[in-house]
Structure 1
Amino acid sequence: MKRLRCVVFASSIKHGGRCIVAKDFDSKKWFRFVSDENGSAIPYEKAMFYNDLYKKSYYLIPLKVVSFPIDSESPILGQPENVILGNGAINQVEPFVINDISSFLDNPDDLWGKGDCVPDKDVSTITQSIYLIKPKNAKLESEINEFDGKTKRYVSFKYNMIDYSLPCTDPKFDSLLKENFSVQALCISLGENFNGYHYKIVASVL
């Protein structure tokens, strides 16, 4: 089975599982790991890596360097990077973790235009649906939705002179907000079709 040595940049919350995105350590190519051809989330029990030194499995977290088993490429509209995760173990590999992400940053002119979403009719020409960017004036914010009582978590920031305010699915969001975390980078992902739109999501805060 084919394997990829990648740096994990997000293992975010998605439909009761995880959305795992990573870049190939050498080529810097993006991969979004899914469980089937429909782009479904990775179950929690599979979103783990094996540490050979301690003979234990741990949940994937950003900046870990691991070896992913690959079943097949499975692009869908608006998410060309999708690959189906294979059945083997995800293994931690050297150099184990990276501290300098500068060589992994992307530099798009914008994040698929302005606003928080892209109409479904416009995504057919999109060739990249994941970016790792260095934002300006990033601020983590949360508020209670008065209609359903749920907490809305989002990140407001500026990128290339454009203001964005996007929902965040980073599982560490609440703890980062409490400690007034200084944001260095954001991993931005374009979601699947939802009512005719693909929403821009902050998958991880780094």
Structure 2
Amino acid sequence: MLTKTYEVKAARQPIVPSESESESETIYEMLGRVYDQGSNRVVDSELFFRCASAEELDEATLMLLEVIHRSEMQTSINVSIKQLKSTDVIRALTKAASDRIIIEVVDIQNSHMDSKTVACLKYLQAAGCKVWLDDYDPRLYTDAILTQFSWDGIKLDKGILLNSSSTIEGLNSARAVLGRIEAIVKDRVLVVVEGVESSQVAQSLKAPNIYHQGYYYSKPILL
């Protein structure tokens, strides 16, 4: 339970290597889906999570981490910057390192993380967690966010593809962002292109370090 009014249920969606689509290399993102007392899904679960209190957010994250612990799949989970101040969440993430957990960092404000946040991410990385930057879009973040921390992966915001006026425009925008990442982050880093919803997009954005996520492969599935 998240509150007396709402319930969070676990769902997962595959993140697939673009060139092989290998099941053994597939990563699964653990997602929280929010339902009201009538078992109706709250349409914008992401907005709900952003508006939740710290206690509600931590409770939901700890529940999802417990589901990950029972799974044998490599799994990623969203963790907001404000949650990195929670002792309970940090303890649970550290424990989950043995489960091959990937932390997707969200809600970074003003393209900047303070020194305590960076130190916390380094601690989690040293403990065995992989750390990704989530929802990257150069229209929202400055280049500094790419170099402030040694990210294990960078996930493109799905709006780069889905909010474009045409598939071609979306592909051109995605290619430009991929080129920007490659130019700034000298080491080849894993990049997830989110919002892949057609064969054309899947076939057009392939590289050894690129993974895909989107409805072309699967919608999130409740567990």
- TM-score, with normalisation over the residues of structure 1? 0.25
- TM-score, with normalisation over the residues of structure 2? 0.24
Please state which structure has a larger fraction of its residues in helix.
2
Bigger relative contact order, structure 1 or 2, given CA contacts below 8 A and separation 6+?
Answer: 2
